[in-house]
Amino acid sequence: MIPLLKRALPVLLGFFLVANATVMERGGASIRATDLIALGMAALLVTRAGSGRFPWSALAVALSLAFLPLAWVGLTLLGLSGSATLAQGARWLMAVPWALVLLEMLGSEPARTRFIKGLAIGCAFNVFVVLAQHFGFAGPLERLGFSSYGSRLVWVGKQLRLPGLHGGPGASAAVISLVAPATLWLYLKDRASIVWPIVGYAAAGVALHLVATRSPQLMIALTTMLALTVTLQRRRGMILWALLLGVGLPLLVFVGPPGGQVRWTLGGDTAVNVSDRILSNQTALELTLAHPLGMGVDASQRALFLETGLRSTHNAWLQVATVFGIPVALIIGIAMIFLIARLRFGWKSDAFWPALVAFHLAGLFLFEEHLNNPTFVILTVWLVVTAVTTRGRRSDQSMRA
């Protein structure tokens, strides 16, 4: 039984990281599956604190990143900030045990492959939730915490953008788009069957059509091109290039892009969207420079709304800077740049997986406030810890070519 659990644990962690069920929701705040898992991880880490195997250096890095969010939690407890700041700050604390466990788990095989397969399966489950909402049988999933159909409905013209598992079309689409780095790694690095990227991309295309969100589609395309470019010398990379071009281009020409032509060509909608984003980005940058150590969630949202009439910065980099301070955004940015740069070592590098994730997240963060989502907070803290504790050289030569 224990060996079976040991094999299944990485798969389950990958699955629930993206299929992050809501366990309880009250007063605008929620307890998610990742929160409960984090408590279990923290308890496990405490039992190892006295041994020589405890990752003290990684803990120091994670807590350094979480210092300002935790400081804002303290201010909230003193009544100096609102409850939304407490909830978001707590997410960063919950991400610390996740980052430490993932650092160890993803550093070796076969746990890494099992985790990434679990994540890909979790993305597929997110697609299933979107389909269930589309066909009207999401009720059982909603009662289990896997569907948030009643939370927020968004329309584009006469088209309903389904909210998916994560409460909104943008958040759910971004999580689904993680199927790209996951299946690319499995196929190009782990030599898994080409069925993984074929099924993954097809499922993501259907779901992204129903949620009608554009930025995750763009990042899937860019991440795919990057991954295939650094693996062009491999026969597998050339095969996938040919397949995606041979199937993808005709679909774009004869069927249209995911979300439909109206989502991409509706002039008035696009113009308003772009102008709102420019305004919110510019105002958020001004607030960030005026408050370099952050303003907390409530105060930053209030200031942004008073200046622009908008409630979102439409940018996770500016979001974390206005809420928790410029140092947090800088640490994340430097760590991601370091990991992305390691792609110069190609697919043989041990950093191929975190580098793909870093590139994908860095792009997603340019378009929406994804650091509201515990899935992306966990991945971000893990990336920072990985960047600081890893060596910038080619490694993992023993893995299968």
Tokens 């269930």 found at: 132
In this prediction, residue 393 carries a pLDDT of 40
Count of structural domains, the chain: 1
User: Over the stretch 128-144, which tens digit does the pLDDT of each residue have?
Assistant: 999 999 898 888 888 88
The stretch 267-290 carries a mean pLDDT of 83
User: Over the stretch 343-389, which tens digit does the pLDDT of each residue have?
Assistant: 888 777 888 999 999 999 999 999 999 999 999 999 999 999 999 98
Q: Is residue 27 part of a domain?
A: no
User: Over the stretch 26-84, which tens digit does the pLDDT of each residue have?
Assistant: 766 789 999 999 999 999 998 887 777 788 889 999 999 999 999 999 998 888 888 88
Confidence grade of residue 269 (pLDDT, cut at 50, 70, 90): low
Greater pLDDT, 213 or 334: 334
Q: Is residue 365 part of a domain?
A: yes
Amino acid 316 reads A
The stretch 104-110 carries a mean pLDDT of 88
Q: Is residue 136 part of a domain?
A: no
Q: Is residue 322 part of a domain?
A: yes
The stretch 290-297 carries a mean pLDDT of 94
In this prediction, residue 400 carries a pLDDT of 39
Greater pLDDT, 268 or 204: 204
Instruction: Point out the least confidently predicted range of 8-22, 72-86, 248-262.
Output: 248-262
Greater pLDDT, 329 or 158: 329
Q: Is residue 342 part of a domain?
A: yes
CB 205 within 8 A of CB 196: no
Q: Is residue 175 part of a domain?
A: no
Query: What percentage of the chain reaches a pLDDT higher than 70?
Result: 88
Torsion angle of the four alpha carbons 103, 145, 167, 24, in this order, in degrees rounded to the nearest 10: -80
Rounded to two decimals, the pTM is 0.92
Q: Is residue 297 part of a domain?
A: yes
Query: Bridge-partner residues for 32, per DSSP?
Result: 22
Residue 312 DSSP one-character state:
-
Tokens of 401: 């070519």
Greater pLDDT, 136 or 303: 303
Element (H, E) at 154: strand 154-156
What CA–CA distance (Å, rounded) separates 24 from 178?
25
The stretch 11-37 carries a mean pLDDT of 90
CB 288 within 8 A of CB 326: yes
Crossing angle for the helix pair 33-47 and 374-389, to the nearest 10 degrees: 30
With a cut of 50, say whether residue 273 has pLDDT above it: yes
In this prediction, residue 249 carries a pLDDT of 77
Mean predicted lDDT score pLDDT of the chain: 87
Q: Which domain holds residue 389?
A: 266-401
Q: What phi, psi does 218 have (nearest 5°)?
A: -60, -45
Q: Is residue 277 part of a domain?
A: yes
User: Over the stretch 155-196, which tens digit does the pLDDT of each residue have?
Assistant: 555 567 788 999 888 999 999 999 999 999 999 988 889 999
With a cut of 80, say whether residue 264 has pLDDT above it: no
CB 168 within 8 A of CB 154: yes
Residues in the chain: 401
